[in-house]
A and B are shown apart, each in its own frame.
Chain A
């Protein structure tokens, strides 16, 4: 039996609001707009090759999350803010660097949580996993970082959860 996907127009009309909602949740209102276009352009590139017609919603939301994660990574890689004085999170660039050697999922979770202050729900969405899995990835990433940093004083300390930090300051 031939698998017939609907015309792209119908697919797009049906899922565009959900895609935008998801992107706004992960990226915020402004950055969601670029990601929106990129998501549907990617969907369009893959559309004729689709071998299933079920759960197109899940398919396009997966693309949206990948686009969101790519955007967040690009932002990490971009040069530091030229006006650091107005940067509310000066430690974030350094955090990205420090987290570089972490396993990918942990790194993304750590950077999104402590660098961008995203909720675990949003991080889970960006990673394509659950809120709990995101929480776990972030906390094991932080454990690994602490272990690696030992007692070294670093600006990132400010971004890490408070309890061990106090200990470090007292040393």
Chain B
């Protein structure tokens, strides 16, 4: 006896509509592969590349609470804005984010990162200086590497002082693709 897709979807939507979830997530397609997108009642809390939903659900449960459920609707706004972004029709995301599980330093850096405009790049050192921690370029690198909400918090726009791409948690190919999409790759050396 298996549960029909309709019945399954009805429960998931009802659970989300009743406000019973700590985290709702869904998978969505994009030009850089399937993305897992997760949100709490405070805002977007996770985007992951090449997602393994079971492991992600474990992580989300530990970070935000055990009532984690896949549900389409809570993620709709983020999905729509991502689609517009990848279609070249959106240069700014208008989505609240939930960074409550990030340490204060990370949160500070990620907030500054969010202000780096579409089509531009910055460097690890510049972000560190902006945060009043000029010696912390390496720590900024770590924050970028652990960015829970890539794309929307644009860590792909952070490059080395010499313009090299340096690294990307989702793989350098994706970083390159995102920067090309934004028309920002001309300024960087490859």
A residues sitting closer than 8 Å to B (CB atoms) are 4-10, 12, 16-17, 20-21, 24, 33, 36-37, 40-41, 44-45, 47-48
Known A-B contacts A37-B11, A37-B14, A41-B14; A8 and B68 likewise in contact (beta carbons under 8 Å): yes
Asked if B76 is at the interface (CB within 8 A of a chain A CB), the reply is no
List CB contacts (< 8 Å) of B14-67 with chain A: 14-15, 18, 20-22, 53-54, 57-58, 60-61, 65-67
Q: List 7 A-B contacts (CB under 8 A).
A: A8-B66, A9-B53, A9-B69, A10-B54, A20-B2, A37-B7, A48-B65
Instruction: Determine how close the nearest CB of chain A comes to the CB of B56; give it in whole angstroms.
Output: 9
| Contact in complex: A44, B66 (CB < 8 Å) | no
Residues of A within 8 A of B65 (CB): 48
| Contact in complex: B66, A24 (CB < 8 Å) | no
Asked if B1 is at the interface (CB within 8 A of a chain A CB), the reply is yes
Residues of B within 8 A of A21 (CB): 1
Residues of B within 8 A of A45 (CB): 20
| Contact in complex: A8, B3 (CB < 8 Å) | no
- Name the 5 nearest CB pairs between A and B, nearest first: A7-B61, A7-B57, A7-B68, A21-B1, A44-B20
Residues of B within 8 A of A6 (CB): 58, 61, 66
Q: Which among A5, A33, A37 is the interface contact of B66 at CB below 8 angstroms?
A: A5
| Contact in complex: A44, B67 (CB < 8 Å) | yes
Residues of A within 8 A of B129 (CB): none
The complex places the Cα of A8 from the Cα of B7 at a distance, in Å, of 17
Known A-B contacts A6-B61, A44-B15; A17 and B3 likewise in contact (beta carbons under 8 Å): yes
Residue in A4, A6, A8, A12 with the greatest tally of chain B CB atoms within 10 Å: A8
Residues of B within 8 A of A48 (CB): 22, 65-67
Asked if B10 is at the interface (CB within 8 A of a chain A CB), the reply is yes
Instruction: Determine how close the nearest CB of chain B comes to the CB of A18; give it in whole angstroms.
Output: 8
Instruction: Determine how close the nearest CB of chain B comes to the CB of A155; give it in whole angstroms.
Output: 37
| Contact in complex: A12, B69 (CB < 8 Å) | yes
The complex places the Cα of A20 from the Cα of B2 at a distance, in Å, of 8
Asked if B70 is at the interface (CB within 8 A of a chain A CB), the reply is yes
Asked if B8 is at the interface (CB within 8 A of a chain A CB), the reply is yes
Residues of A within 8 A of B58 (CB): 6-7
Instruction: Determine how close the nearest CB of chain A comes to the CB of B48; give it in whole angstroms.
Output: 15
Residues of B within 8 A of A12 (CB): 69
The complex places the Cα of A44 from the Cα of B57 at a distance, in Å, of 16
| Contact in complex: B57, A9 (CB < 8 Å) | yes
Residues of A within 8 A of B20 (CB): 41, 44-45
Known A-B contacts A8-B67, A9-B70, A44-B20; A24 and B1 likewise in contact (beta carbons under 8 Å): yes
The complex places the Cα of A20 from the Cα of B18 at a distance, in Å, of 21
Residues of B within 8 A of A17 (CB): 1-3
Residue of A nearest to B60 (CB): A7
The complex places the Cα of A94 from the Cα of B58 at a distance, in Å, of 52
Instruction: Determine how close the nearest CB of chain B comes to the CB of A8; give it in whole angstroms.
Output: 5
Instruction: Determine how close the nearest CB of chain A comes to the CB of B112; give it in whole angstroms.
Output: 32
Known A-B contacts A16-B8, A41-B14, A45-B20; A36 and B67 likewise in contact (beta carbons under 8 Å): no
Known A-B contacts A40-B11, A41-B18; A7 and B3 likewise in contact (beta carbons under 8 Å): no
The complex places the Cα of A48 from the Cα of B15 at a distance, in Å, of 14
Residue in B15, B22, B54 with the greatest tally of chain A CB atoms within 10 Å: B15
